[in-house]
């Protein structure tokens, strides 16, 4: 009797051990798949800044690194030049298409390749970079460059977050309508009109970074010049005339003519998150709600601060409503992947590290990619049941 009981116990132990051995490969594979998902966080600085300034973007980079797993994740800041001096100058002088392609896309590719080199692959795993999720953070002018990277870089981007970026352009010199006297206002407006004409010239377009997103809506003829100019903003916003004439497009011709509009739109549609932040007291980006894709109700439109309430919100603009040639904003919004918010009581690019941690790092970076994917799926199911489109959080007015 005792012998029979011992034999049964041995059989049970052997069965349990066998089950454990059979399950181990699946468990280890599950753990491996869980840790295969890596984050590449890419920062794109704006005008007057550099990639690694310890008082500005360098501080943001350090904050993100301290808040994420540096063993599996990587944080880089795009340097638009060989050193900090050329990086700073490139914020003002240079061909926008070349800066995006030769520095932005190239450094994104190099960072992904470096992450792949430090990963271990088993015999059953396909060696590709699908397990590297890329998040782009664009600050001010860098937000336009970051969106251009999403639309044109070879590498797929999973999330785009911009801060005070002139997505619908800068329409005029800031502060003209706030000049102390009529003469000053007159000269300011005259200077703006001169700059507007020069901005769309072939020479300045390839030399001035700010000209690449200057969008004059105050005059029908100048707006037509903008459309025909082939500037960076007109291309990534789908407003250019579609010309494949390289001479007409200037030095950056190879950039837009090889990346078709439909392909650029598809890359935007692939985003899991497109978050845009405006600044409530922004006086640098004119109009400030360009940061959240607001647009003029018509052209011509002479914008002043008093007319800010007349602007179309993003859902009323052609950028949103034009599904075929648009920017996929409507599709992203219907899937709750477009997030719009404002930094309260803040001037351009003025936010605390505490605010950035709470509203950006905790929501979009620290949260596991799988969690965000699950949330998107759940929200899509809720939308189907309720038959509603998610509302925009709020605009700065």
CA distance 140 to 42: 15
- Tell me the three-class secondary structure of 15-81, residue by residue: HHHHHHHHHHHHHHHHHHHHHHCEEEEEEECCCCCCCCCCCCHHHHHHHHHHHCCCCCCEEEECCCC
pLDDT above 90: percentage of residues in the chain: 55
Summarize pLDDT for 52-76 with one digit per residue, the tens: 999 999 999 999 999 877 677 999 9
Residue pair 373/309 in contact by the 8 Å Cβ criterion: no
Q: Are 142 and 167 in contact (CB under 8 A)?
A: no
pLDDT at residue 29 tops 50? no
Least confident of 22-36, 65-79, 317-331: 22-36
Q: How far apart are CA 274 and CA 269, in angstroms?
A: 10
For the chain, what are the domain ranges? 38-118+129-169+259-386
| 123 in Cβ contact with 140 (< 8 Å) | no
Count CB neighbours of 132 within 10 A: 23
With residue 386 as reference, give the H or E element that holds it: helix 369-386
The tokens for 70 are 């540096």
Q: What is the pLDDT of residue 373?
A: 57
β-bridge mates for residue 135, sequence order:
41, 159
| Fold of the domain spanning 38-118+129-169+259-386 | Rossmann fold (3.40.50)
Confidence class for position 392, pLDDT limits 50, 70, 90:
very low
Model pTM score: 0.80
At residue 377, the pLDDT reads 62
Helix (H, G, I), strand (E, B) or coil at 254: helix
Task: Tell me what percent of the residues of the chain surpass a pLDDT of 70.
Answer: 69
- The Cβ-side half-sphere exposure at 229, using a 13 Å CA radius, reads 30
**CA neighbor of 69 nearest in space, from 367, 370, 290, 377:** 367
Q: Over range 290-317, report the average pLDDT.
A: 95
Q: Which two tokens stand for residue 173?
A: 């010199």
Residue 7: per-residue pLDDT: 54
pLDDT at 324 over 90: no
238-277 residue pLDDT tens: 998 765 444 444 444 445 444 678 889 999 999 999 999 9
Query: Residue 131: its pLDDT value, please?
Result: 74
Distance, CA of 185 to CA of 200 (rounded, Å):
23
| CA–CA separation, 391 and 338 (whole Å) | 10
pLDDT at 158: 96
DSSP 179-243: -SSHHHHHHHHHHHHHHHHHHTSHHHHTTBTGGGGB---S-HHHHHHHHHHT-HHHHHTT-S---
Which three-class secondary structure state does DSSP give residue 250? helix
- Report pLDDT digits (tens) over 114-168: 998 876 544 444 455 567 899 999 999 999 999 999 999 999 999 999 999 999 9
Q: What pLDDT is stored for residue 298 in this prediction?
A: 96
On the question of pLDDT at 24 being above 80, the answer is: no
Dump pLDDT digits (tens) for 75-126. 999 999 999 999 999 999 899 999 999 999 999 999 999 998 876 544 444 4
């Amino acid at each position: 009797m005792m012998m029979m009981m011992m034999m049964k116990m041995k059989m049970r132990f052997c069965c349990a051990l066998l089950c454990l051995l059979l399950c181990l490969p699946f468990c280890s594979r599950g753990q491996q798949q869980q840790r295969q998902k890596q984050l590449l966080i890419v920062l794109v600085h704006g005008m007057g800044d550099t990639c690694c300034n310890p008082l500005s973007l360098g501080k943001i980079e350090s904050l993100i690194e301290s808040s994420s797993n540096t063993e599996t994740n990587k944080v880089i800041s795009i340097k638009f030049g060989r050193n900090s001096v050329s990086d700073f100058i490139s914020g003002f002088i240079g061909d926008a298409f070349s800066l995006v392609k030769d520095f932005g896309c190239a450094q994104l590719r190099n960072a992904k390749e470096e992450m792949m080199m430090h990963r271990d692959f088993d015999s059953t795993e396909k060696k590709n970079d699908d397990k590297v999720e890329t998040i782009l953070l664009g600050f001010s002018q860098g937000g336009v460059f970051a969106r251009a990277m999403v639309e044109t870089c070879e590498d797929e981007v999973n999330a785009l977050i911009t801060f005070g970026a002139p997505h619908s352009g800068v329409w005029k010199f800031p502060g003209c309508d706030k000049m102390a006297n009529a003469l000053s206002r007159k000269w300011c407006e005259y200077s703006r009109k001169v700059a507007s004409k020069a901005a769309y010239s072939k020479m300045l377009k390839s030399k001035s970074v700010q000209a690449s997103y200057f969008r004059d809506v105050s005059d029908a003829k100048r707006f037509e010049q903008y459309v025909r100019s082939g500037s960076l903003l007109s291309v990534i916003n789908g407003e250019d005339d579609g010309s494949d004439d390289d001479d007409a497009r200037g030095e950056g011709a190879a950039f837009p003519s090889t990346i078709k509009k439909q392909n650029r739109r598809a890359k935007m549609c692939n985003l899991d998150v497109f978050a845009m932040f405006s600044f409530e007291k922004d006086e640098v980006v004119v109009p400030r709600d360009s940061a959240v894709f607001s647009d003029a109700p018509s052209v011509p439109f002479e914008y002043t601060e008093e007319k800010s309430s007349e602007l179309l919100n993003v859902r009323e603009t052609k950028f949103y409503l034009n599904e075929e040639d648009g920017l996929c904003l409507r599709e992203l919004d219907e899937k709750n992947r477009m997030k719009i918010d404002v930094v309260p009581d803040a001037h351009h690019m003025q936010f605390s590290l505490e605010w950035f941690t709470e509203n950006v790092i905790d929501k979009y970076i620290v949260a596991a990619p799988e969690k965000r994917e699950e949330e998107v799926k759940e929200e899509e199911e809720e939308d189907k049941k309720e038959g509603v489109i998610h509302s925009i959080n709020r605009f700065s007015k």
